[in-house]
Amino acid sequence: MEAGVACKLNYPTWIRFGRKSTGSLRFDRIAKQEHKTRVVVSAHFPVQTSSNRHRSVSLEVSCSSYTNFSASTMETGSIHAPYDEALMLKNKSLEVEPYLNGHSIYLVGLMGSGKTTVGKILSHVLGYSFCDSDTLIEQEVNGMSVAEIFKLHGESFFRKKETEVLQRLSSKKQLVVSTGGGAVVLDVNWDYMQKKGIVVWLDVPLEALAQRIAAVGTHSRPLLHYEDGDPYTKALKRLSYLLEQRGKNYAKANARVSLEEIAGKLGYRDVSDLTPTEIAIEALEQIEVYLKEEDGMAIAGL
């Protein structure tokens, strides 16, 4: 079919796939002029995941002649095209950037939710600087690790430093900040994060978080040392408690990125099948929704 369509229409230049069962097929200007072809595209996008993690999408294309539009369909069939997540990320960032207007992005979420991993991807594609508030605190306290700071100076000292770091960052634009898991607890931190920034919550199921943390060990995360058991059990117990305590705080974020929802949309059975890039794309989408709402309200004078 791919050859058939290409032959009938001559050089279709590219096929673009959206993430919500939408897509478009674009043709070269020359092809349009030469063939005066009116193209009727009916797209059908069942998402398939193949074993090598490269997804392909079935696209049914119907075409009819421009000069005889009522004439029957020229060709129908399906094209398999690779799902290029890097391209989709770039396109999404270009779409969102004008609305962002230089606002920073503050990623919040429980330990291990991917703030650093996703944050680096976002900063790279947007051309923003990336920083990690835990790392900035460590630098301020003579290179001491978070775990050592907790042990030597206690949690309240750490929280004070965290607020100072967020205050310092709050005057800057074009940053992607990976915040500490507990940064959402203090109201003053919200004032700093939202001064020139948008707060995005990475909402990851507890079991997935515990799995990720167990894979790297709990030694660098002092708040996980209160429980007994193997690393997975320790992490799961403590994270459940922390989510109970902080759930309302995370929910105050301007945008929420739910891994369960993305997995559902993409037809994955498990959130662990999601790539960090897919999560970054969803983050941009949710930021766009938020900014458009804000824009609409400002125009409406609300």
Ligand X SMILES: Nc1ncnc2c1ncn2[C@@H]1O[C@H](COP(=O)(O)OP(=O)(O)OP(=O)(O)O)[C@@H](O)[C@H]1O
Binding site for ligand SKM (CB under 6 A): 111, 134, 146, 180-182, 221-223
Site string for ligand X, 228-267 (x = CB under 6 A): ----------------------------------------
DSSP state of 40: E
E strand spans, the chain: 12-17, 23-27, 37-40, 47-49, 55-60, 62-65, 78-82, 104-108, 129-132, 175-178, 197-203, 255-258
Describe the crossing of helices 146-153 and 155-169 by its angle, rounded to 10 degrees.
130
Pick one of ligand X, ligand SKM, none as the site partner of residue 146 (Cβ within 5 to 8 A by kind): ligand SKM
Report 105-164 residues binding ligand X (CB under 6 A).
109, 111-117, 134
- Residue 103 interacting partner from ligand SKM, ligand X, none (CB closer than 5 to 8 Å by kind): none
> In 3-state terms, what secondary structure has residue 183?
helix
Q: In the complex with ligand SKM, which residue's Cβ is closer, 134 or 278?
A: 134
Q: H or E stretch including 29? A: helix 29-35
Distance (Å, whole) CA 108 – CA 7 = 51
Residues from 19 through 78 that contact ligand X (CB under 6 A): none
Query: Cβ contacts of residue 3 below 8 Å, gap of 6+?
Result: none
Q: Is 178 in the site for ligand X (CB under 6 A)?
A: yes
First-residue to last-residue Cα distance in the chain: 52
Least distance CB 166 / ligand SKM (angstroms):
12
Rounded distance between C-alpha atoms, residue 126 and residue 204, angstroms: 23
Q: Which is nearer to ligand X, 6 or 141 (CB)?
A: 141
Pick what 113 binds: ligand X, ligand SKM, none; C-beta below 5 to 8 Å, kind-dependent: ligand X
* Least spacing, CB of residue 115 vs ligand X, in Å: 4
Residues 180-219 touching ligand X, rule: CB under 6 A, are 181, 212, 216
Q: Which is nearer to ligand X, 48 or 272 (CB)?
A: 272
- In whole angstroms, the minimum distance from the beta carbon of 3 to ligand SKM comes to 53
**# chain residues binding ligand X, by CB under 6 A:** 17
Question: 130-156 burial, b if ≥16 CB within 10 A, otherwise e?
Answer: bbbbbebbbeebeebebbebbeeeeee
Nearer to ligand SKM, 12 or 181 (CB): 181
- How many angstroms separate the CA atoms of 122 and 169, rounded? 17
DSSP classification of residue 230: S
Q: How far is the CB of 251 from ligand X (least distance, A)?
A: 17
Give me the 266-285 binding string for ligand X, x by CB under 6 A, dash otherwise.
--------x-x--x------
Beta-carbon contacts of 236 under 8 Å, excluding residues fewer than 6 positions away, are 206, 207, 210
- Between 267 and 296, name the residue whose CB sits nearer to ligand X: 267
For residue 284, the partner it binds in ligand SKM, ligand X, none, with Cβ less than 5 to 8 A by kind, is none
Of ligand X, ligand SKM, none, which one does residue 212 interact with (CB within 5 to 8 Å by kind)?
ligand X
Helices 85-100 and 276-299 pack at an angle, to 10 degrees, of: 30
Tell me which residues touch ligand X (CB under 6 A).
109, 111-117, 134, 178, 181, 212, 216, 221, 274, 276, 279
